[in-house]
Homo-oligomer: A and B are copies of this chain.
Amino acid sequence: MIITVQMVLNRLIEPVGHLEPTVDTLKSGRLNAEVRKVAVTFMATYAVIKQAVESGVDLIITHEPTYYNHKDEVEWLAGDPVYERKRMLIEESGISIFRLHDYVHKYKPDGILVGMLKKLKWEAYANPEKMNLLTIPSDEQHTVRTIVTHLKNKLDIDSVLVAGDPEMPVRRFGLMPGASGGRSHIKCFESKNIDLLIVGETNEWETNEYVRDAMDMGLSKALIITGHQNSEEAGMLTVVEMMREALPDLQVDFIASPLAVKRI
């Protein structure tokens, strides 16, 4: 049986139903193109696309944008040498690229969150109704610092950013991968009565300052910022598993990336 891009997309969209509007669109390629090999990745970087093309991948499924902005708008990039070279690589190769961002976050439960809980071995901590709320069992003791150590080990990262007291004991905490914004972070602190929130990325003047103020008021609140890629990349393994199960005739590989920035 021939599998097309459209058939793969149908499978990815099916748990949610058609969304409108969404950033999850086909960024390149054709819906009726045949797919034999799929690469799943966090970000369709130039290096990822090049590796995929060279290894005969027909379809890249990427969580984040291809062209440096959430909506993959490209008019403003016309003539830019980085954009033009990337577009050329994509067009000349004929590879299909589909963004899977809104759909995977709307899976029940959120596919990225599930993948991260698995990677962190925190499935047992998660509230079954609201899996981004975690509770540490009463026979375990954790502080912000011991949770930082756990995150660094499991995600293989050198350091994280912390607001609040590292020695603060933690019982209930929130896990919000990605960059969901200051309001959603702050509302999570308030509405869920958590001690600690772990996020991917913030705006400095939002969540960071809220937690700084809370600490200066003597309230027991802390924040850990892991970096956006660190907080979501392993979540895309959920999609790899799902695709392998649903379409066993496809070859589905995961392409991980180094971080874009180094700390110096």
**Taking beta carbons and an 8 Å cutoff, which residues of A are in contact with B?**
43, 45-47, 50, 64-65, 68-70, 76-77, 79-82, 85-86, 145, 148, 159-163, 166, 179, 182-183, 186-187, 190, 201, 203-214, 216-217, 219, 221, 223, 225, 227-229, 260-264
| Chain B contacts for A81, CB-based, 8 A | 190, 214, 219
Please tell me if the beta carbons of B204 and A162 are within 8 angstroms of each other in the complex.
no
**Besides the contacts A69-B205, A79-B190, A166-B262, what 12 more A-B pairs have beta carbons closer than 8 Å?**
A43-B205, A46-B216, A68-B206, A68-B209, A69-B182, A82-B213, A82-B219, A159-B264, A160-B263, A161-B261, A179-B203, A204-B228
- How many angstroms from the CA of A148 to the CA of B263 in the assembled complex? 11
State which of B46, B209, B219, B260 has its C-beta within 8 Å of the C-beta of A208. B260
CA distance A264 to B145 in the complex (A): 8
Name the distance in Å between A105's Cβ and chain B's nearest Cβ: 15
Number of copies: 2
CA distance A229 to B206 in the complex (A): 12
CB within 8 Å for A261 and B223 given contacts A43-B205, A228-B205: yes
Task: Let me know if B159 and A43 touch, CB within 8 A.
Answer: no
Q: A70 to B209, alpha carbons, bound, how many Å?
A: 12
A164 to chain B, nearest CB (A): 9
Do A186 and B68 form a contact, CB below 8 Å, given A85-B217, A213-B86? Answer: yes
Residues of B within 8 A of A264 (CB): 145, 148, 159-162, 166
Most buried by B among A187, A207, A261: A261
* CB pair A203 B205 closer than 8 Å: no
